[in-house]
Amino acid sequence: MKKGIIGAIIVLVILLAVAGATIVGFYNSFVSKSQAVDNQWAQVEAQYQRRFDLIPNLVAATKGTLKQEQKIFGAIAEARTRYAGATTMQQRVRAANQLESALARLLVIVENYPQLRSNETIQQLMVQIEGTENRISVERRRYNDMVREYNTSIKRFPGLIFANLHGFGEKPYFRSEAGAEKAPEVDLGNE
């Protein structure tokens, strides 16, 4: 009888150890994936910051020639201010999209002014901004890939149970604002 009780206790201890190791494994996996998502969002923000650092130089280089385009410069400044004051990821995305719209209008204008296109400083800034836009696109895609991996892991069984028990919630995907797919309209007829 003692052997049976000892055997049952050993089996119970083994089952508890396996269950504990499983819980710890899921928890650590969720923490790692959550941190990876947060890190990738930081990469997106680093590229946004690079963009925000380059744009004042482009604005300053074009401002003297484009006095009549003050609305665009105001929109750029407003978007930078909104981004700096944003407290949530969604607010930052909205501000970044607002900046992208104003920047796109500015770039269209630069393309339509031959004296600006021939300016070497503006050309260099445009190349840097184009590279930054490409980096932002890559980092956003990587962020969404990591969010997909994380969200999938917390929605699959049995991870779903452990995620709910330990408060791991779904992370938001990066989504463009409504209307972002439309090209900006620039009216150069008011010269």
pLDDT tens sequence for the chain (191 residues): 788 888 889 999 999 999 989 888 989 999 999 999 999 999 998 888 888 888 888 777 776 666 656 777 788 888 888 888 888 888 888 888 888 888 888 877 777 777 766 677 777 888 888 898 899 999 999 999 999 999 999 999 888 998 998 899 999 888 876 665 565 554 544 44
124 in Cβ contact with 4 (< 8 Å): no
For residue 134, what are the contacts with CB-CB under 8 A and spacing of at least 6? Answer: none
DSSP string, 119-186: -HHHHHHHHHHHHHHHHHHHHHHHHHHHHHHHHHHHHSTTHHHHHHHTT-PPPPPP-PPTTTTSPPP-
Residue 39 exposed, middle or buried by CB count within 10 Å (0-12, 13-18, 19+): exposed
State how far the Cα of 187 lies from the Cα of 110, in Å rounded to an integer. 13
Count of CB atoms situated within 10 Å of the CB of 63: 13
* Residue 47 CB burial class (10 angstroms; 0-12, 13-18, ≥19): buried
Are the CB atoms for 81 and 97 separated by under 8 Å? Answer: no
Q: Is the pTM of this model over 0.75?
A: no
For residue 74, the surrounding DSSP H or E stretch is helix 70-85
